[in-house]
Amino acid sequence: MDLSVFGEIVQDTSSQRRTFFKLVFGEQARGWVCVSYKFPHDPKDVWKKHFFEWPQDLERMLADIDEQSKQLVHAYYCPSLYESPGKKNKEYVGTCTNIWADLDTCDPKFMLVPPSIVTETSPGKFHALWLLEDELKPETAEQISCKIAYYQSTQKRRCSVRPILTPIPLWNRSKNTLN
């Protein structure tokens, strides 16, 4: 891909991401958002993790995603908030403002409870989020997420309290919908 064309593709997406992240984490929640980057042409297959305090670091997080998106990169976020920056282990998750599912090829319109947000991560593959009025403890959110994954026969390995999901929109995503 010509990098000048690539640059045009990712321009002006901060406002969409801002809206997306505000929906995902809400206005009242506090914690740390983890954004991870994977560089597909890096032979070392290294993931770079960046942490941002929610909600005060939202603009800094968007600027970081914009900057990283100028290269060929896959960017992911965790829909749970961490207690502190640095470690992405399960025991460091502080709160959950949503329930999530990596639906893979399960069409979201077949879900028993319609998701609040559906992201088509590549043609025919989906992530779903159910936004919550009240925050949940990580263990409870994980249990619900796993029940959805098992019921829908989706990717059971992705029902962890610390999944990595793809933010919208990035160059490697052909189609995104925000319901």
Contact 168, 16 (CB under 8 A): yes
Residue 174 has pLDDT above 80, yes or no: no
Pairwise CA distance, residues 97 & 69, whole Å: 26
CB crowding 7-18: b at 16 or more within 10 Å, else e: eeebeebbeebe
Single pTM value for the model? 0.80
Segment 52-62 mean pLDDT:
97
Say which residue the tokens 């029940």 belong to: 147
Pairwise CA distance, residues 178 & 58, whole Å: 19
pLDDT of residue 109: 86
Pairwise CA distance, residues 104 & 113, whole Å: 17
Segment 33-51 mean pLDDT:
86
pLDDT of residue 161: 57
Segment 126-133 mean pLDDT:
90
Confidence of residue 44 (pLDDT cuts 50, 70, 90): confident
pLDDT of residue 162: 56
Contact 100, 59 (CB under 8 A): no
Residue 85 has pLDDT above 50, yes or no: yes
Domain layout of the chain by residue ranges = 3-158
